């Protein structure tokens, strides 16, 4: 397992913990306090930020060459895939909210919805980028065997 894969694993694990903890916290707080107080459970999303420290946790691989052309190609494919998925989620969220509000004749929404939508798109990008990197490396290794 190379450094990029280790960083991707850390990203996947921290994001999974962050999302699970947030969902549990919100579902525990909601019956007692209701929204907007229950949304304080979303603070657990901050755990995902630890995934960004991966390059500090994992030392560089020995040798002068850190990444080759294949690594760069895989990372680019993963970045494109991650962006595609995050934009898909962003579009679905925006259009879904718009359609829902139109059907209920709601003219405006809270400004606080925007950072939530953009944050969801950002988290989707980092998580799907890490997952796609792991899938692509797994597929490449299987082909080499």
Residues that bind another protein (CB under 8 A): 72, 76, 79-80, 83, 87, 90-91, 94-95, 97-98, 101-102, 106-111, 113-115, 118, 121-122, 125
Residue among 57 and 118 whose Cβ is closer to another protein: 118
By C-beta, is 37 or 57 nearer to another protein? 37
CB of 103 to another protein, least distance (A): 11
Which positions ≥6 away from 52 have C-beta within 8 Å?
A: 11, 126
The answer to whether the CB of 43 falls within 8 A of the CB of 72 is no
- CA distances to 25, 80, 96, 121 from 40, in Å: 8, 32, 24, 19
Cα–Cα distance measured from residue 119 to residue 1, given in angstroms and rounded to the nearest whole number: 30
> Phi/psi of residue 62, each to 5°?
-65, 150
Q: Shortest Cβ distance from residue 90 to another protein (Å)? A: 7
Shortest Cβ 19–another protein spacing (Å): 19
Looking at beta carbons only, is 57 or 87 nearer to another protein?
87
Residue 61: DSSP 8-state: P
C-alpha to C-alpha distance for 43 and 31, rounded to whole angstroms: 18
Residue closer to another protein by CB (options 21, 51) is 51
What is the nearest approach in angstroms of another protein to the Cβ of residue 71? 12
Q: How far is the CB of 93 from another protein (least distance, A)?
A: 8
Integer angstrom CA distances of residue 87 from 19, 84, 92, 103: 19, 5, 8, 24
Q: Which is nearer to another protein, 28 or 70 (CB)?
A: 70
């Amino acid at each position: 397992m190379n450094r990029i894969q280790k960083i991707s694993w850390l990203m996947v694990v921290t994001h999974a913990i962050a999302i699970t903890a947030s969902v549990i916290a919100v579902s525990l707080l909601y019956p007692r306090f209701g929204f907007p107080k229950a949304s304080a459970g979303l603070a657990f999303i901050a755990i995902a930020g630890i995934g960004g420290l991966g390059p500090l946790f994992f030392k560089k691989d020995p040798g002068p060459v850190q990444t080759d052309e294949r690594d760069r190609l895989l990372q680019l494919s993963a970045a494109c895939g991650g962006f595609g998925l995050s934009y898909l989620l962003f579009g679905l969220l925006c259009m879904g909210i718009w359609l829902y509000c139109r059907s209920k004749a709601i003219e405006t929404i809270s400004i606080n919805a925007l950072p939530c939508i953009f944050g969801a798109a950002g988290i989707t990008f980092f998580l799907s980028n890490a997952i796609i990197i792991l899938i692509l490396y797994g597929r490449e290794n299987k082909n080499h065997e």
